[in-house]
Amino acid sequence: MTKIDAKIPSGALKDKWTNHKNNINLVNPANKRLIDVIVVGTGLAGGSAAATLAELGYSVKAFCFQDSPRRAHSIAAQGGINAAKNYQGDGDSIYRLFYDTVKGGDYRSREANVYRLAEVSANIIDQCVAQGVPFAREYGGLLDNRSFGGVLVSRTFYAKGQTGQQLLLGAYSAMNRQIGRGKIKMYNRHEMLDVVIVDGKARGIIARDLVTGKVERHSAHAVVIGSGGYGNVFFLSTNAMGSNTSAAWKVHKKGAYFANPCFTQIHPTCIPVAGDLQAKLTLMSESLRNDGRIWVPKNLEDVKAIKSGQLKPTKITEENRDYYLERRYPAFGNLVPRDVASRAAKERCDAGYGVNQTGQAVYLDFEAAIERYGKETAHVQGLDENDKTLVTKLGKEVIANKYGNLFQMYEKIVDENPYETPMMIFPAVHYTMGGIWVDYNLMTTIPGLYAIGEANFSDHGANRLGASALMQGLADGYFVLPYTIGDYLADDIRTGPISTDQQAFADAEKDVVSNLDHFINNKGTKSVDYFHRKLGHIMWEKCGMARDKAGLVSAISEIKALRDEFWKDVLIPGGRNEFNEELAKAGRVADFLELGELFAKDALDREESCGGHFREESQSEEGEAKRDDENYKYVSMWEYTGNPADAILHKEDLVYENIELKTRSYK
Amino acid sequence: MNLTLKIWRQKSASDKGKMVNYQISDVSGDMSFLEMLDVLNQDLISKNDEPVAFDHDCREGICGMCSLYINGEPHGPDRGVTTCQLHMRKFKDGDTIYIEPFRAKAFPIIKDLVVDRSAFDRIQQSGAYVSVNTSGNTQDANSIPVPKEDADMAFDAATCIGCGACVAACKNSSAMLFVAAKVSQFALLPQGKVEAKKRVQDMVNQMDAEGFGNCSNTGACEAECPKGISLENIARMNRELLKADTAVRN
């Protein structure tokens, strides 16, 4: 095994972060203003990092491809953010959040990183409240909590179904304060197209102004990638249309190892695909599983009758419904982790119990919750608990108050009223646990290059728990990176400004421009979307919820062939020096076409099932994922050598000193 | 269904721009409005014509990036949704649909249907924050109880997605609803009260400097807001501004 140094501090788990902070180098305030930091991406990770670095005194340049930093896709996160506050007094603690996260990730994450995440989680809530983030509160004025999958406590803070929006607007406001003070220079509608390495260190980026088309050089003493995940390699996902892997992939090609690319989260509760021309999928928050019950009919005749429109789901009696999560996992029921819930839905649908025309949907039902809340409210208000109409009315009001925006969203898309009939849902690609490999300091294998938030691999192992993405993004950006980056930058106080006239900048710019020109001049016959959809289809069929050797081997060759065809036959109208969305998309899809191959290669290497990675060959008799700790208890780290197929595998062995490795059970 | 689209095409900010007719067939009611435009664009690309440029990203009504003035209404005929959540079932076979950019002096056109809304960012930069650094030593989140009613009202105001429909809907191109939503969020919370006076003055000054018009009092902004931001916020902002201005005179 290659010797990999993750720079995990020594000492007891609970002291590591404190000791590390006490021992790393600092940069004095007067020197900080002489140091430039580039932050790519302005979501929860990038936005919070840019704001905090600027508060500390660094000169920050922040980049986003959207028209404003507030549009980053963190904004769409719905359900909530975890924190070990134990406000509910239900036995929560830093250790328990740590334990749940490592277990939820199926023992494929790094103990020290996850413990630190749990440790700073409480600070995040304090910080956000101080910024004026309007979290949900109880009548006594204190913060409210809800439960999420894979845990037995209520530790999720939320703002209706718009938690991501409120947290991102908090980070955006912190950024705005620094932009106003001139400490952050904001580059909207700019896309990073390469990283520039000078003397082995990350010293800048090449970016394209998406309005003018101008290719620009930007220098800095360190570069931070906070550009999110690569779920759009599947074409259809809950990611935004513009979400892409290009920043992450470009740094990989320049020497940053890419970790666990095959670890993808397929979220169980999304609105099913409606047609061939669909452009994206919409998530229905996991928080709905607090109150919704998932089921399919017990009898295939009922499934048939539903599909032909002769039977309404509400007419199927209780004993003829199969609440399969409650049946298979009595301890966690509807709140099993996402990977488990998704596979269970697939199992039922594969067996023919899917309830829509394509057979790719299950029910998420609120009838029981409406009745329960209705009775509770009637009781509190001294009304008749046996009046069914009244109870239903009151219950619906409670549900609307909790999930109103989600129900509205569902109704607009599907044209059915989820207060009256159960929602139809199906798993969809949502999040990628894999990403750029980072050490404990969040530094990649390129000195001076950092990766934070979903763009890195570090905290969620093979499956992320609900409400933990927001936690990690803000932890990295507010509380981890701003400290650890100082340790590196302390050596740069005498470096002075980095000149963009250096050869490395010229070379990188030349490559970028020649790629762009290739696309413009290619004049093939097919659009970028044509290739993207085809790639997505290969990924979903062969690298989706279940994977096997034959499928992965064929995926690798199919992706390669598609990539060759793409470079030969893609058609981009318009020019380079102008607003040209097709050109921007071409660059993104070119990178997905490379990443997709590495993804399949990684999935092929990992001949075990763990978390979201399910290898058909490795399952128990009951169809549960079978992990292989003896052979695969490592982080796959891929080194680029000129072609995704030739990437070299390095391994970071995962050491568990504080948690006993066990078979994950939610039964 | 088969539709006639009349779409604003404008090559760049300096170009004059004009409405161009397009025919589109086999549109399904389950398609979103933007998926319908995707289909049109795929057709244009296949002929090596330039696709229609429009802003969009999350396609679930939260990022605020999509815009479009459809048949004379920002985000089209449906209520409480953004353009990306508008579905074609709201239209009929044979309809003619007019698609224009959001029009306002403060939102210059970049290309076709894409406008520059960075004026909104600059208003936010002028004061839409609580001046608290990230330290990890702020007080415990529960140390200041906030009445649920205030928290809920602050949240409702904070759900503004910054799309600019309020400006596009207003005959004066006023940004009052957008600015008031942010002013209200902070004015309703104890954390925001400390800087409330300066904040409202700075944000209103910046709003005026960006070239947005004054409130028309017609309520078109509230009617067209995809997030249902209430006019009450404008009243609250005016009270806050009055309070701030009189306090300065003391």
Cα–Cα distance measured from residue A83 to residue A69, given in angstroms and rounded to the nearest whole number: 25
- Inform me whether the pLDDT recorded for B250 exceeds 60: no
Identify the domain containing residue B50 by its residue range: 3-110
Which run of H or E residues covers position A411?
helix A388-414
DSSP character string of A60-90: EEEE-SSSSGGGSGGGG--S-EE----TT-S
Segment B83-101 mean pLDDT = 97
Cα–Cα distance measured from residue B38 to residue A581, given in angstroms and rounded to the nearest whole number: 12
Same domain, A560 and A587: yes
Of residues B62, B145, B154, nearest to A76 (C-beta): B62
Give the pLDDT band of residue B249 (cuts 50, 70, 90).
low
Same domain, A201 and A293: no
Write down the catalytic residue from A108, A338, A563, A606: A338
Same domain, A248 and A305: no
Question: What residue type is assigned to position A442 of the chain?
Answer: L
| Residues β-bridged to residue A283 | A270
Burial class (CB in 10 A: 0-12, 13-18, 19+), B114: buried
Least confident of A283-287, B91-95, B146-150, B223-227: A283-287
What is the maximal distance between C-alpha atoms in chain B? 68
Identify the domain containing residue A618 by its residue range: 502-632
Contact B30 A176 (CB under 8 A): no
Cα–Cα distance measured from residue A355 to residue A326, given in angstroms and rounded to the nearest whole number: 19
Task: Spell out the SS3 assignment of A142-193.
Answer: CECCECCCCCCCCCEECCCCCHHHHHHHHHHHHHHHHHHCCCEEEECCEEEE
- Inform me whether the pLDDT recorded for B242 exceeds 90: yes
Residue A663: Cβ within 10 Å count: 12
Cα–Cα distance measured from residue B176 to residue A651, given in angstroms and rounded to the nearest whole number: 56
Same domain, B96 and B31: yes
Contact between residue A141 and residue A148 where contact means Cβ atoms under 8 Å apart: no
Q: pLDDT exceeding 90 applies to what percent of chain A?
A: 94
Same domain, B205 and B94: no
Catalytic (active site) residue A338: yes
Contact A479 B56 (CB under 8 A): no
Same domain, B83 and B128: no
Instruction: State the Cα angle at A240 between B61 and A183, rounded to 5°.
Output: 95
Contact between residue A618 and residue A609 where contact means Cβ atoms under 8 Å apart: yes
Cα–Cα distance measured from residue B86 to residue B32, given in angstroms and rounded to the nearest whole number: 6
Sheet containing strand A449-451, edge to edge, reads A184-187, A59-63, A36-40, A222-225, A449-451
Same domain, B80 and B125: no
By C-alpha distance, which of B249, B244, B156, B165 is closest to B199? B244
* Closest-CA distance of chain A to residue B211, Å: 19
Same domain, A421 and A469: no
Is A11 in a helix, a strand, or coil?
coil
Distance set, CA A60 to CA A186, A423, A502 (Å): 8, 45, 21
**What are φ and ψ of residue B224, in 5° steps?**
-95, -10
Segment B63-79 mean pLDDT = 97
Q: Residue B136: its pLDDT value, please?
A: 78
The domain that contains B221 carries what CATH number?
1.10.1060.10
Residue-wise pLDDT for A383-418, tens only, equals 999 999 999 999 999 999 888 889 999 999 999 999
Would you put residue B162 in left (φ > 0), alpha (ψ -120 to 50) or beta? left
Same domain, B79 and B163: no
CB neighbours of A301 closer than 8 A, spacing ≥ 6?
A: none
Number of A to B CB contacts under 8 A, please give it: 218
Distance set, CA A597 to CA A253, A477, A555, A558, A590 (Å): 14, 30, 8, 9, 12
Contact A71 B129 (CB under 8 A): no
* Closest-CA distance of chain A to residue B65, Å: 7
Of residues A51, A238, A242, nearest to B57 (C-beta): A242
Task: Provide the 8-state DSSP code for A358.
Answer: T
Cα–Cα distance measured from residue A384 to residue A375, given in angstroms and rounded to the nearest whole number: 8
How many residues can be counted in chain A?
667
Same domain, B234 and B202: yes
Contact A240 B145 (CB under 8 A): no
* Closest-CA distance of chain B to residue A138, Å: 6
Same domain, A614 and A511: yes
Residue-wise pLDDT for A65-115, tens only, equals 999 999 999 999 998 999 999 999 999 999 999 999 999 999 999 999 999
Same domain, A329 and A460: no
CB neighbours of A220 closer than 8 A, spacing ≥ 6?
A: A36, A37, A38, A61, A203, A204, A205, A498
Residue A555: inside a domain, yes or no? Answer: yes
Q: Residue A1: its pLDDT value, please?
A: 44
DSSP character string of A475-522: IIIIIIHHHHHHHHHGGGTTT-PPPTTSHHHHHHHHHHHHHHHHHHHH
Q: Residue A3: its pLDDT value, please?
A: 64
Contact B132 A188 (CB under 8 A): no
Distance set, CA A441 to CA A116, A279, A520, B133 (Å): 11, 37, 40, 22
Task: Answer with the one of A378, A395, A429 that is the final residue of a domain.
Answer: A429
- Per-residue tokens: A317: 């009696």
Contact A132 B189 (CB under 8 A): yes
Distance set, CA A236 to CA A39, A457, A537, B82 (Å): 27, 22, 9, 20
* Closest-CA distance of chain B to residue A569, Å: 12
Same domain, A438 and A532: no
With beta carbons under 8 A apart, name residues in chain B contacting A582. 45, 51
Same domain, A199 and A277: no
Q: pLDDT exceeding 70 applies to what percent of chain A?
A: 100
Same domain, B237 and B188: yes
Task: Answer with the one of A492, A515, A536 that is the final residue of a domain.
Answer: A492
Cα–Cα distance measured from residue A48 to residue A539, given in angstroms and rounded to the nearest whole number: 32
Segment A334-351 mean pLDDT = 95
* Closest-CA distance of chain A to residue B4, Å: 19
Same domain, B101 and B149: no
By C-alpha distance, which of A215, A212, A115, A201 is closest to A513? A215
Segment A112-134 mean pLDDT = 97
What is the maximal distance between C-alpha atoms in chain A? 80
Segment A123-132 mean pLDDT = 97
Residue A407: Cβ within 10 Å count: 21
Give the pLDDT band of residue A664 (cuts 50, 70, 90).
confident
Same domain, A347 and A417: yes
Report chain A's mean pLDDT, rounded to a whole number: 96
| Residues β-bridged to residue A293 | A365
Residue A654: inside a domain, yes or no? Answer: no
The domain that contains A307 carries what CATH number?
3.90.700.10
With beta carbons under 8 A apart, name residues in chain B contacting A134. 151-152, 154-155, 158, 185, 189
Same domain, B216 and B241: yes
B-chain residue closest to A523, CA distance: B48
Segment A501-530 mean pLDDT = 98
Contact between residue A459 and residue A472 where contact means Cβ atoms under 8 Å apart: yes
| Residues β-bridged to residue A197 | A202
Same domain, B244 and B122: yes
Q: Give the total number of structural domains in chain B.
A: 2
Residue A644: inside a domain, yes or no? Answer: no
* Extended strands (E) in A242-349: 258-259, 264-270, 293-297, 321-322
Same domain, A608 and A474: no
Contact A130 B130 (CB under 8 A): yes
Task: Answer with the one of A429, A447, A475 that is the final residue of a domain.
Answer: A429
Residue A620: inside a domain, yes or no? Answer: yes
Q: Give the total number of structural domains in chain A.
A: 3
Q: How far is CA A339 from the centre of its chain?
A: 14
Residue A7: inside a domain, yes or no? Answer: no
Same domain, B75 and B189: no
The domain that contains B15 carries what CATH number?
3.10.20.30
The domain that contains A225 carries what CATH number?
3.50.50.60
Same domain, B55 and B125: no
Q: How far is CA B57 from the centre of its chain?
A: 14
A-chain residue closest to B59, CA distance: A240
By C-alpha distance, which of A477, A498, A490 is closest to A167? A477
Residue-wise pLDDT for A1-43, tens only, equals 456 899 999 999 999 999 999 999 999 999 999 999 999 999 9
Same domain, A442 and A422: no
Contact B110 A211 (CB under 8 A): yes
Same domain, A75 and A213: yes
